[in-house]
């Protein structure tokens, strides 16, 4: 992962913090007399690796008034090398790292001028400015000098007005700013850059002083370089490692109708056609292929009559193939060159022994891209978790680019959020041991709720978790231990980039932890309530999934909850009592927006999910995901089936559009949300959205009808 990409969290940033001392304050005239830098590694000030060098400013004398500030005079630099000799070493020290400085635009202007004077190439690094970041974190401060910020943040200042001393102080100021920026919703490089660029008056003042822009909006391609690890996979693994076996063959005389049935039954996207002359092993030269697209084109051309045509009439041949022993990159290259999505895999004799599709390549690509799973499992602290977690938006982008649905991507995000929560608990347990609180007093399970439990999380998320433990009373010894654990878990997740739940649905809060007996009693109490306001957040409990510890405890409690809710139609009704679907379509089909966007969670996703959950509880359908719940209800009630299908399709559309918007927003430093820009939608996606909004407009009435159906 590029550690300067926009999605990298500030918490775990690799950077070089720089400072210069000069002959004056006008960057159009001043010369460098000292260069220094210190490293941040994984969000921590490195113990070694600092750079400091005095520089001889040519024939120019150092004015006495500047010497009084930094203490450097002509005699001190007389034997020092000129800038041209110093720059290669300093440039190598910077490397490709993010550069941080206090009023760094001045330093950049000075360095650029020195490079120009020396005839050296200048390439502007990616930068952040602690002065701008401090104004974002604390706009009420009277001043933003390095001394002021150090005093405000409790940072010790040493060797002020020496380049190395100021670089070290600036590094400590930056690290102290990170949690304050997080409180303002700024967690990543891109978000920090975007916030800094909004300080236009400050940036204009700096530009008038001849400074270089302290922060520069990166090009999109620079911000997110996707799937760097994928290439190494393609050169390390062979086609036999990913091929589907055995390949599915049909005779050339098989009808399109029969082939369609086989594709659907075996959940595949193509079949190979063995010609009558083929004997023994089928060689690629003797075979053809028919894909879903071929079948659809035939039906579009010939209509219903196409179903009786033999597939030999529409197959493509000869079959494009790759050797089983060839590396995966060969399959990728051949698919790209031939503009095909399917290849045969052949053995040394040229006989077809397997099949590779673009979907197979996508699966391996996603698996490699989500190397973050292994990194999450291996993370020893919050900064390491943050580094891994920062990969998730890039993985979502690559999967989206490859054609995965928003629903599929949401499942990937949910699984990784579960893994993140699990590792936060592992780290929290270690912290508990190190602080003398010992091991867990009894078996327990850490569970995720809501969208994470359903497998429907997106990139705008917060925490929803709870703890179920074997035994113990509220406020008892066991409960107090798990309260501390829950607090550590919540703090770690918040630091990594999954904010605290605004509704308090976290194991750190008493109502979201308890023994099996406590949870059973709590659930019974919920189901007998009659006030919808008292049931706020209760519904997401029915989505629970264990991510750490003893999963059997959650199974017991979840089963008890569904059993207790059996026949309790009034309870299921209460879960959707306060849920309503706003009117999002105008009279002639236009889409209502606010500032050009529509919040698809508020416009329909929330009510759709709530309805599916309430119906699942009403009909004792213990599936978790919204599509599975709708399918289960559809199979049980045998009415309103087209309406339920429309809701299922609507959820898929909402997820597709939200994921795409979130990926784009994150790349531009905009915190992800559920609001989608309607203007950016293609005509096809706008039509899909209108159909989805029409479908959810009837969800309230449909839910009432199905809840009370006998």
The answer to whether residues 405 and 671 touch, using CB atoms and an 8 Å cutoff, is: no
Peptide bond into 318 cis (omega under 30): yes
Q: Any long-range contacts for 176-179 (C-beta under 8 Å, 24+ apart)?
A: 177/130, 177/133, 177/134, 177/137, 177/149, 177/153, 178/10, 178/11, 178/43, 179/495
Q: Find the catalytic residue in 91, 159, 161, 437.
A: 161
- Two structure tokens written together for 42: 């994984």
Give the full edge-to-edge strand order of the sheet including 465-469: 513-515, 465-469, 444-448, 545-549
DSSP annotation of 605 reads I
CA dihedral 239, 241, 245, 247 (to 10 degrees): -10
Tokens 């809501």 locate to 450
Among 404, 423, 394, smallest CA distance to 498 is for 423
Token pair, residue 230, equals: 């994928």
Angle at 531 between CA 525 and CA 533, to 5 degrees: 105
Of residues 142, 109, 137, 153, the one with CA closest to residue 199? 137
- Per-position DSSP letters for 562-598, written without gaps between them: HHHHTT-HHHHHHHTTT------B-TTS-B--BTTEE
Q: What does R_g of the chain's alpha carbons equal in angstroms?
A: 31
Q: CA angle 361-246-342, nearest 5°?
A: 35
CA–CA–CA angle 494, 520, 467 (5° rounding):
20
Residue with tokens 């809710």: 565
Of 190, 188, 230, 329, residue with least CA distance to 1 = 230
Nearest Cα neighbor of 421 from 394, 391, 461 is 461
Closest to 631 in 3D by CA, of 618, 608, 647: 647
Q: Is the peptide bond before 246 cis (omega within 30 degrees of 0)?
A: yes
The tokens describing 455, both together, are 């497998």
Output the CA torsion sign for 473, 477, 480, 482.
Answer: negative
Report how far residue 12's alpha carbon sits from residue 388's, in angstroms, rounded to the nearest whole number.
10
Strands 675-677 and 321-323: unpaired
Among the listed residues 92, 114, 90, 110, the one whose alpha carbon sits nearest the alpha carbon of residue 36 = 90
Q: 94: how many CB neighbours lie within 10 A of its CB? A: 17
Nearest CA to 311 out of 331, 332, 327, 297 is that of 297
Sign for the CA dihedral angle at 635, 636, 641, 647 comes to negative
Backbone angles phi, psi at 548, to 5 degrees: -155, 140
CB 465 within 8 A of CB 451: no
Q: Yes or no: say if 187 and 4 are a contact pair by the CB < 8 Å rule.
A: no
Residue 488: active-site member: no
CA angle 538, 539, 543 (to 5 degrees): 115
Just list the catalytic residues: 161
């Amino acid at each position: 992962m590029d550690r300067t990409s926009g999605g990298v969290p500030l918490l775990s940033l690799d950077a070089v913090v720089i400072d210069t001392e000069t002959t004056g304050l006008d960057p159009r005239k001043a010369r460098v007399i000292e260069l220094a830098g210190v490293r941040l590694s994984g969000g921590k000030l490195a113990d070694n690796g600092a750079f400091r060098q005095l520089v001889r400013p040519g024939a120019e004398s150092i004015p006495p008034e500047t010497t009084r500030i930094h203490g450097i005079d002509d005699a001190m630099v007389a034997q020092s090398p000129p800038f041209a000799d110093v720059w290669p070493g300093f440039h190598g020290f910077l490397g490709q790292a993010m550069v941080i400085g206090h009023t760094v635009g001045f330093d950049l202007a000075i360095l650029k001028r020195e490079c120009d004077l020396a005839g050296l190439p200048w390439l502007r690094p990616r930068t952040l400015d602690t002065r701008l970041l401090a104004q974002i974190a604390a706009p009420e401060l009277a001043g933003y000098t390095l001394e002021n910020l150090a005093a405000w943040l409790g940072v010790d200042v040493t060797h002020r007005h020496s380049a190395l001393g100021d670089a070290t102080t600036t590094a400590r100021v930056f690290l102290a700013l990170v949690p304050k920026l997080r409180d303002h919703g700024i967690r990543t490089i891109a978000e920090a850059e975007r916030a800094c660029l909004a300080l236009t008056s400050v940036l204009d003042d700096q530009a008038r002083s001849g400074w270089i822009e302290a922060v520069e909006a990166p090009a999109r391609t620079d911000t997110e370089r996707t799937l760097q690890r994928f290439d190494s996979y393609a050169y390390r693994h062979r086609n036999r490692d990913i091929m589907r076996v055995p390949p599915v063959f049909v005779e050339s005389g098989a009808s399109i109708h029969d082939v369609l049935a086989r594709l659907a039954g075996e959940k595949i996207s193509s079949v190979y056609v063995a010609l009558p002359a083929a004997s023994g092993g089928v060689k690629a030269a003797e075979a053809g292929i028919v894909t879903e697209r071929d079948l659809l084109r035939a039906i579009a051309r010939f209509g219903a009559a196409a179903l009786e045509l033999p597939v030999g009439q529409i197959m493509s041949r000869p079959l494009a193939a790759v050797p089983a022993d060839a590396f995966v990159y060969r399959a990728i290259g051949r698919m790209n060159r031939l503009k095909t999505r399917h290849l045969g895999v052949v053995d040394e004799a040229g006989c077809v022994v397997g099949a590779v599709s673009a979907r197979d390549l996508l699966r391996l690509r996603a698996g490699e891209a989500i190397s973050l799973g292994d990194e999450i499992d291996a993370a020893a602290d919050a900064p390491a978790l943050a580094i891994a977690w920062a990969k998730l938006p890039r993985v979502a982008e690559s999967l989206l680019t490859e054609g995965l649905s928003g629903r599929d991507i949401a499942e990937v995000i949910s699984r990784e959020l579960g893994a993140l929560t699990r590792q936060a608990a592992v780290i929290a347990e270690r912290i508990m041991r190190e602080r003398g609180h010992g091991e867990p007093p009894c078996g327990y399970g850490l569970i995720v709720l809501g969208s994470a439990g359903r497998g429907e999380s997106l990139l705008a998320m917060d925490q929803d978790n709870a703890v179920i433990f074997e035994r113990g009373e509220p406020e008892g010894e066991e409960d107090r231990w798990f309260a501390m654990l829950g607090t550590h878990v919540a703090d770690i997740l918040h630091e990594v980039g999954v904010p605290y739940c605004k509704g308090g649905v976290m194991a750190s809060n008493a109502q979201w932890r308890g023994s099996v007996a406590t949870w059973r009693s709590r659930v019974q109490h919920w189901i007998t309530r009659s006030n919808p306001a008292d049931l706020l957040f209760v519904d997401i409990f029915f989505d629970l999934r264990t991510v750490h510890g003893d999963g059997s405890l959650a199974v017991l409690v979840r089963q008890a909850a569904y059993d207790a809710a059996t026949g309790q139609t009034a309870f299921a009704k209460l879960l959707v009592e306060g849920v309503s679907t706003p009117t999002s379509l105008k009279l002639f089909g236009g889409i209502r927006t606010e500032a050009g966007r529509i919040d698809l969670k508020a416009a329909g996703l929330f009510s759709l999910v709530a309805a599916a959950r309430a119906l699942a509880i009403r009909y004792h359908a213990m599936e978790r995901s919204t599509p599975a719940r709708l399918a289960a209800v559809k199979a049980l009630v045998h009415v309103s089936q087209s309406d339920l299908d429309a809701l299922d399709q609507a959820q898929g559309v909402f997820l597709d559009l939200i994921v795409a918007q979130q990926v784009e927003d994150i790349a531009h430093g905009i915190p992800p949300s559920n609001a989608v820009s309607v203007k950016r939608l293609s005509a096809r996606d706008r039509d899909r959205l209108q159909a989805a909004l029409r479908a959810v407009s009837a969800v309230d009435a449909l839910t009432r009808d199905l809840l009370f159906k006998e």
